[in-house]
Amino acid sequence: VAAANTAEADVRAAEAQITSLEVQLGEEGDANLRLRQARNALEKARLDLARTEVRAFEAGQVTNLQLLPGDYVQAGQPVMALVSDTLDIVADFREKSLRHVRLGDEAKVILDALPGHIFEGRVTALDAGVREGQIGADGQLADIPTSDRWVRDAQRLRLHVALDAPLAAMPPSGARASVQLLPGEHPLAHPFAWLQVHLISWLHYVY
């Protein structure tokens, strides 16, 4: 009887071991857990390998490169600057000056590097807002800026201008320009704007 009980216990232990091995083995086919884990590890290794080759999203010139062969960098650490080959002219105007400005309005652009030259352009985008006056979601009390000025400084908003014709040579990134807007069709606006933009272009020769 004792031998029979021992044999039955061994059978139950063997059956439990078989069940454990079946659980570790998992389901058959593509539903197998270990198979999915191995595939995920393989995909991650392929992704890491693809990320070892860095490609720019657009054409341009690499500048301020200080890397040497054998250098190590952390993921997400900037190590170089890429200056795009596309021109983006950004201009800041007082918000009251942009009441009648719409996308596609005519603009005159004077580059500081090319005095005396006036380039035709169009307004392509107007930013939706600025950071000034935003409340940080940090759980702290609002920090209200104080000013003792009778008339506070006007808020400035940003817009983008694209030239109608490409430049013969791309100016360096960060180059400055003056932008004259010509919104609407007011009979006096365009003559005064023409006079102002030409005056500014002439002043760039000496200033």
Q: What is the pLDDT of residues 142-151, one digit of tens each?
A: 777 777 878 8
pLDDT at 44: 94
pLDDT at 183: 75
Domain ranges of the chain: 1-53, 86-130+153-203
pLDDT at 187: 72
pLDDT at 76 over 90: no
The region of weakest confidence among 10-19, 154-163, 179-188 is 179-188
Rounded Cα gap, residues 23 and 14, in angstroms: 14
Rounded Cα gap, residues 91 and 14, in angstroms: 79
The region of weakest confidence among 51-55, 68-72, 123-127, 135-139 is 135-139
The better pLDDT of the pair 38, 24 is held by: 38
Judging by beta carbons within 10 Å of its beta carbon (0-12, 13-18, 19+), is residue 41 exposed, middle or buried?
Answer: exposed
What proportions of the chain, in percent to the nearest 5, are helix, strand and coil? 30, 20, 50
Kindly state the tokens that stand for 94. 């007082």
Rounded Cα gap, residues 28 and 35, in angstroms: 9
Query: Does the domain spanning 86-130+153-203 belong to CATH 2.40.30.170?
Result: yes
pLDDT at 33: 77
pLDDT at 85 over 90: no
The better pLDDT of the pair 143, 70 is held by: 70
Average pLDDT, the chain: 84
